[in-house]
Structure 1
Amino acid sequence: MWKWLASLVVVVLLSACQEEAAPPPSPDPPTKQVEDIRIGFSMDTLAEDRWKKDRDLFKEAVESLGAEVLITAANGDDVLQVAQAETLIQSGIDVLVIVPHNAEATAAIVHKAHQAGIKVISYDRLVKNADIDLYVSFDNERVGELQAEAMLQAVPSGNYVFIGGADTDNNAHLLKKGVFSVLQPAIDSGEIRIIYDQWTADWLPSNARDNMKEALQINEQQVDAILAANDATGGGVQEALASYGMQGEIPMTGQDADLAGIRRIVKGEQLMTVYKPIQTLSVTAAELAVTLARGEEVKTSTSVNNGKKEVPSVLIEPIAVTRDTIDETVIQDGYHTKEEVYEE
């Protein structure tokens, strides 16, 4: 009995000693100071007016927070974008923000960044099949829905042409999904007929022009409505129509609220565009990039599946713009000036 009690005392004492000797928990790593943060911004292109605005606004937003930003643009070249991203990674950035040219090919960049301990944000366009940390964009399905809703109201029946975006861009697929989700009942009833449906390689207006010329040729110019994926492709569409003496005669949609597109709306050559408040997108992305760089948690209320995971996402609501709402949207926001729009 006494031996058992003595053994119990020894065990208790040893346990107490071990508890006293246990090292204290490691403190959390210190939060990185904003002035020491470097954000890399890997962009697909600066060929369109819209992307120049993204570059300038994102740079301004990051610098206003006290951090540094390094920006590259690949001119639609997948190999160049990967090489530029590798240079950014090697330069010692804390977070990489990507606007992918090719949604699939850019996954290699995400892998390289993570190997270097760098978190990755997909900006506006989703990187597919990659373990990206965050996606910041607009609701791109909603963009397509807004286009189709406006067109159905203007042209409830007839022959529809769809001039899509780049097949390599996930946003183009989301937009198309939104468009056809709205059009499908009218397609099923026979009220509208999709007489031409084609992607536009690299979003190039020249490719959209060629697509539209083909649509006019094979359908003997019997076209009642044109769903152009964005304002740049819409410019190519109008070139094709002009070659047939039909510029501005067929209702056409767009997206991005480019100045050229807005001016076409004023002239009656374009039905509508979809305005995506880039100021909101760029500021949101900049704030989230700095938050990630500081090692702080980012909480989101939604996610988007990119083929590999449910990516935490922040999606901003797009806005339909017609001739009647230009002043209260793009002009009021300072996206374009009244003088620019109305060429005063």
Structure 2
Amino acid sequence: MNYIYRSKKAVKKNRMKILLILTLIFFVTALIIFIFCYPKFDNKKQQIIKPAKVRIGFAMGTLKEERWFKDRDILIAKAHERGYEVEWVNANENDVEQINQVKYLLSKNINILIIVPNNYEKCSGAVNLAKKRGIKVISYDRLVKNSDIDVYISFNNYKVGELMAKWLLKSVPRGNYVFLLGDPGDYNVQMIKEGYHKVLDSFINKKQINNILERYCYNWRKEYAYNYINNLLEEGKRIDAVLASNDSLAEGAIMALSEKRLAGKVPVTGQDADISACQRIVKGTQLMTVYKPIDRLVDLTLEIVDKLIKEEPLKSVYMLNNGYKNVPTFFIDPIGVDKSNINDTVIKDNFHTWDEVYITK
């Protein structure tokens, strides 16, 4: 009987030990689950893990013209407001350097590439590098031809040419016209040319307008514009109007005209609303410029960046064939500006201030 009593006592003791061990295992397991899963149970104290910032690579072909500084500064500022980081480079009009700079941007692990091609053909190699890495590419303000760009965003350069032609027609409905084109490697130049010819060809065919010179100015250098105008004047040619494709070329043409005391007598167009051009307009030595509100271009570009990053569909009005494919295209309309509306456009938008435009020296 004593043996049986002791056996029962031992069994009871073992059961207590097993129960204690199981209880300990339960609490340890519960503690582990609590430690690792607590953020899921407590939403208020849950740690929010933010994704890494989107990094934009901004590859610029040039900073020679005043307007490109505005593009750079505005894009960087507005991108930062959206929480994006920006790595920017400037190729200084060097095609090989632009490809090397895109390689550099790719090494910085960019998520998207915004590119202003120095040359619309030669830049295709830089685009190919990005696409091989699975990076979306935005062709900004200048089209990259024969490449797999995802989207093209620009001002409507056909309308730029049309505006210049219409302004000159109002001032000089007949006479000798000079056409100063920009760099042939910039596809915008071809679009501008198509735009002004659309307006003027009927007048040229009727001999109301004489096309006495139509030349490219390589790298958009005003020295070419100066030499073309100067040579014509030295040859004794009468010039009645000058369609200069941007304000830098307009400046070169006006320099040559001023040496013959013709500045202000021969209407000259321009593009970009550079501060010096706006000053010439109010002084009367330049007829007009084409104002392109860069804020709007940058806002549209960053909206497209948002969609590309989120892989949302792009709803474009235009599709433009770049030689490789039909590219979704977004255009912003430019604005013709002369003395009559400069206050209500360039100055009202604070693109330049009143003091800057009307400064007297």
TM-score per shorter chain, which class? 0.7 to 0.9
Post-superposition shift, 1:305? 1.4
Distance across 2 between alignment mates of 1:86 and 1:225? 45
Q: Report the 3-state secondary structure (helix = DSSP H, G, I; strand = E; otherwise coil) of the residue aligned with 2:63.
A: coil
Q: Give CA-to-partner distance per residue, 1:37-64, whole Å, 9 cap, x none.
A: 0000000111211000000011111111
Indicate the residue corresponding to 1:26 in structure 2: none
Post-superposition shift, 1:89? 1.3
Distance across 2 between alignment mates of 1:309 and 1:126? 12
Could you say which structure has the larger radius of gyration?
A: 2
The alignment's TM-score, normalised by the length of structure 1, stands at: 0.88
Structure 2 residue corresponding to 1:157, chosen from 152, 170, 174: 174
Structure 2 residue corresponding to 1:275, chosen from 291, 295, 299: 291
Q: Is the 8 A contact 1:53 1:278 kept in 2?
A: yes
* Aligned-residue CA RMSD (Å): 1.4
> Following superposition of structure 1 onto structure 2, how do residues 176-215 of structure 1 map, counting pairs within 5 Å?
176-215=193-232
Indicate the residue corresponding to 2:242 in structure 1: 226
Indicate the residue corresponding to 2:156 in structure 1: 139
> Following superposition of structure 1 onto structure 2, how do residues 40-189 of structure 1 map, counting pairs within 5 Å?
40-189=57-206
Q: Report the 3-state secondary structure (helix = DSSP H, G, I; strand = E; otherwise coil) of the residue aligned with 2:57.
A: strand
Indicate the residue corresponding to 2:352 in structure 1: 336
Distance across 1 between alignment mates of 2:77 and 2:264? 37
> Following superposition of structure 1 onto structure 2, how do residues 300-319 of structure 1 map, counting pairs within 5 Å?
300-319=316-335
Structure 1 residue corresponding to 2:56, chosen from 39, 56, 62: 39
Q: Report the 3-state secondary structure (helix = DSSP H, G, I; strand = E; otherwise coil) of the residue aligned with 2:173.
A: coil
Q: Report the 3-state secondary structure (helix = DSSP H, G, I; strand = E; otherwise coil) of the residue aligned with 1:153.
A: helix
Post-superposition shift, 1:287? 2.2
The alignment's TM-score, normalised by the length of structure 2, stands at: 0.84
Q: Give CA-to-partner distance per residue, 1:252-292, whole Å, 9 cap, x none.
A: 10111111111111011011111111110012112212331
AA aligned to 1:174 is M
| Structure 2: runs of 5+ lacking an equivalent | 1-48
AA aligned to 1:205 is K
AA aligned to 1:306 is N
Distance across 2 between alignment mates of 1:290 and 1:71? 18
Q: Give CA-to-partner distance per residue, 1:282-304, whole Å, 9 cap, x none.
A: 12112212331233332212111
Q: How many aligned positions are there?
A: 312
* Aligned residues with identical type, % of pairs: 43
Distance across 1 between alignment mates of 2:288 and 2:56? 35
Q: Give CA-to-partner distance per residue, 1:113-164, whole Å, 9 cap, x none.
A: 0001101000000001111100000110000000001101110000000011
AA aligned to 1:150 is W
Choose between structure 1 and 2 for higher RCO, CA contacts under 8 A separated by at least 6 residues: 1
AA aligned to 2:331 is L
Indicate the residue corresponding to 2:23 in structure 1: none
Structure 2 residue corresponding to 1:237, chosen from 229, 250, 253: 253
Post-superposition shift, 1:110? 0.8
Q: Is the 8 A contact 2:254 2:268 kept in 1?
A: no
Q: Is the 8 A contact 1:100 1:106 kept in 2?
A: yes
Post-superposition shift, 1:247? 2.4
Q: Is the 8 A contact 1:42 1:73 kept in 2?
A: yes
Post-superposition shift, 1:35? 5.3
Q: Is the 8 A contact 1:227 1:252 kept in 2?
A: yes
Distance across 1 between alignment mates of 2:354 and 2:345? 11
- In structure 2, relative to structure 1, the CA distance for the partners of 1:114 and 1:242 (3 Å cut) is same
AA aligned to 2:321 is N
